[in-house]
Amino acid sequence: MLRIYGSAKSRTLRVLWMAGELGLTYDHKDWLPRAPETRTPEFRALNPNYRVPVIDDDGFVLSESMAINLYLAKKHGALYPQDPRHEALAWQWCLWETDRLDRPIVNYVRHTQELPEAERDPKAAEAAWKEVEPALGALEAALAKSAWLAGPSFSVADLNVAGALYRGLKMDLGKWPHVKAWLHRCWERPAAKRARAMRE
């Protein structure tokens, strides 16, 4: 049986979304990052980095949300591109997201919306935005040419990048109309709504 470790209020959100898309039955350990449960010897045996998400799939242990979702999609067939070129695009966009978008968008939204006002740092928000803006421009250019990131239909690439862009739902994306439309298409999927309800 599949076991998923991590709260929907972390990057585990995208793993829970994937499990929902695939119709998987799983046991969920709803643990926040840095929760006491993630500091035990038992959890360290699963992930020496002490971080969520982690999955245990019948004894196969894997961490890192992007890797987990690529694995689950490929194992179960759905949402994993079969064409080698589309597969390569899926990997491209997943790697791109972790390199170009993930941390900057978290920092931007935290310092403009999520943190108490006294803890917000305008300079940190400005620095993050300088990275977010060109990244969204690159995503806009791709989505202007294709409705989805890795082939003719919704795939693991869309889920992983849209999952990371969850905070983008709170942003004004008017400058990037294709990104805005795509992001809402992704998050309007039934499995996405169920995962989002676990977070909110």
pLDDT in tens, 52-70: 999 999 999 999 999 999 9
Q: Output the CATH code of domain 84-189.
A: 1.20.1050.10
pLDDT at 183: 98
For the chain, domain boundaries: 2-78, 84-189
Residues with Cβ within 8 Å of 192's Cβ and at least 6 positions away in sequence, in order, are 17, 20, 162, 186
pLDDT in tens, 8-62: 999 999 999 999 999 999 999 999 998 999 999 999 999 999 999 999 999 999 9
Q: What is the CA radius of gyration of the chain?
A: 17
Q: How far apart are CA 8 and CA 199, in angstroms?
A: 5
Assess contact for 108 and 132: CB atoms under 8 A.
Answer: yes
Please work out, in degrees rounded to the nearest 5, the angle formed at the alpha carbon of residue 147 by the alpha carbons of 143 and 151.
100
Q: Distance between CA 57 and CA 84 in Å, rounded?
A: 26
Tokens of 109: 């939204």
Handedness of CA 104, 163, 161, 25 (dihedral sign): positive
The Cα 97–Cα 25 span in angstroms is: 28
Instruction: Tell which CATH classification among 3.40.640.10, 3.50.30.10, 3.30.70.2610, 3.40.30.10 matches the domain 2-78.
Output: 3.40.30.10
